[in-house]
Amino acid sequence: MAGLTAARELERTGVGVTVLEARQRPGGRILNHVFDDGVTVEVGGQWVGPTQNHVLGLIDELGLETFPSYDHGDYIVSIEGHVKRFSGDTFGLPPHVLLEAAVAQKRLERMAASVPLDQPWTAAKAPAWDGQTFESWLRGNLRLERTRQFFRLVTTAIFSAEASQLSLLHFLFYCRSGGMLDRLLGTAGGAQERRVVGGTQQVADALATDLRTMVRYDEPVRSISQGSAGCEVRTDAKTYDADGVVVAIPQHLIGAVHFDPPLPPRRRQLIQSVPMGAVIKCIARYDRPFWREEDLAGFAASLDHPVSLVFDNSPPDAACGLLLGFIEGGHARRASLLTTEARRELVVGCFIDLIGPRATDVVDYVDLDWAAEPWTGGCYGGHLGPGVWTQLGPELRRPFERVSWAGTETATEWNGYIDGAVASGLRAAHEQLSEPPGVQPSDP
């Protein structure tokens, strides 16, 4: 999405662009799956919501439609083996746990509000916050283990990584980037509010189709050379000459590209320090959304199960029922060792425990382990551990001569989301349109 957006923006100014895509399709972390009966689901990124103005504007511009995520009825929570229904935003927590969680949330959000999105390393307390993990903060500031467990669930839900893998500063930056925790976690009024009719891959497909420029698939870039005359970009199939390059891939994959001259040492250190989260997205198809008949929203959160979150993912006409489950963080790394059949049994078992015995009657099933995707290496996005923001943060968006960096990990707002990817592509395109120091303008 970042690369396609950058190409579209550059093309609009009359610049000739070639898009080199390692996969045999556009979209990166966006991907649709079509069941045998024609029902389309997203096994990649899917939701859009309020304040995500870049992607919402793009969807409107491309003539696509959205529909609200289903969010009517009671929710389900599983804590210490007890599964129960709840309503509202209590997550079914006992009052004393809910109180401590609310106080902690307000404190975290006050801290997050002081983190500059364009330069998180300049926050007044950045050294202290970046010198510890979010897990260490939870252990040092929360009295109740159940409250800690709740925030660990929140962490894996947002980052698909464990609280022990993130610096506290990164957690705070990310919270502010997405409009704080209620918006990040919410359905109505939150990041999970709406979906694209026909699946989000339509956005990427429409962008690729709309481009007048050349889009080359199955051409991973092997090397980028820069000189006074421009750039030379090599793939296995061909060598391309260019005035400038936008690199729009996950940070850890940049290390697989040979650069001449070499990347600066700090940039090389950075790309070794932004690992991807681990998530397996799992979808079970049913004849109908039976949970709605029981006044359930189809949403469940579990502190006990490998599937930590469940959503109603049914199509807008409810022609069938779709339950979406996420296996995240450590659970995903363990489940990745299983066969698809074994994962299906594991996931359906979780659905039965959380949604009810009628979840047994699965018509079809699909899952995707994003850590197994070679041109992604994980989802939802990359995260920064202790010390990375304060020591290497300035390198994240700093251009390297004629090379600009894009991708949702480089976004200031909605970092890690589709909207952040689109915004990063626009920024990188504008960097290319502003001639870098020492580079003389040339014809498009």
Q: Tell whether 91 is covered by a domain.
A: yes
Would the pLDDT of 253 be above 60? yes
Q: What is the pLDDT of residues 274-324, one digit of tens each?
A: 999 999 999 999 999 999 999 999 999 999 999 999 999 999 999 999 999
Would the pLDDT of 434 be above 80? yes
Q: Tell whether 90 is covered by a domain.
A: yes
Would the pLDDT of 437 be above 50? no
Tell me which residue has tokens 């969807």.
Answer: 59
Q: Tell whether 387 is covered by a domain.
A: no
Would the pLDDT of 416 be above 70? yes
Would the pLDDT of 335 be above 70? yes
Q: Tell whether 339 is covered by a domain.
A: no
Q: What is the pLDDT of residue 440?
A: 40
- Per-chain mean pLDDT for the chain: 95
Q: Tell whether 128 is covered by a domain.
A: yes
Would the pLDDT of 442 be above 60? no
Q: What is the pLDDT of residue 213?
A: 81
Give this prediction's pTM: 0.95
φ, ψ (nearest 5 deg) of residue 419? -60, -40
Q: What is the pLDDT of residue 67?
A: 97
Do the beta carbons of residue 320 and residue 363 sit within 8 Å? yes
Measured between alpha carbons, how far is 86 from 74 in angstroms, rounded to an integer?
6
Q: Tell whether 341 is covered by a domain.
A: no
Tell me which residue has tokens 């996969």.
Answer: 23
Mean pLDDT of 100-114: 98
Q: Tell whether 202 is covered by a domain.
A: no
**Count of other CB atoms within 10 angstroms of residue 230:** 16
Q: pLDDT > 70: what percent of the chain?
A: 98
Quick one: pLDDT band at residue 210, thresholds 50, 70, 90? confident
CA 136, distance to chain mean position in Å, is: 24
**How many folded domains does the chain comprise?**
1
Quick one: pLDDT band at residue 436, thresholds 50, 70, 90? low
Do the beta carbons of residue 281 and residue 56 sit within 8 Å? no
Q: What is the pLDDT of residues 135-187, one digit of tens each?
A: 999 999 999 999 999 999 999 999 999 999 999 999 999 999 999 999 999 99
Tell me which residue has tokens 């919410």.
Answer: 186
Measured between alpha carbons, how far is 427 from 425 in angstroms, rounded to an integer?
5
Measured between alpha carbons, how far is 348 from 366 in angstroms, rounded to an integer?
11
Would the pLDDT of 443 be above 50? no
Q: Tell whether 413 is covered by a domain.
A: no
Using CB atoms within 10 Å of the CB of residue 212, give its burial: 0 to 12 exposed, 13 to 18 middle, 19+ buried.
exposed
Sequential DSSP letters for 275-308: PBP-EEEEEEEESS-HHHHTTEEEEEEESSSSEE
**Count of other CB atoms within 10 angstroms of residue 401:** 17
CATH number for position 180: 1.10.405.10
Which residues span the domain enclosing 108?
Answer: 74-185
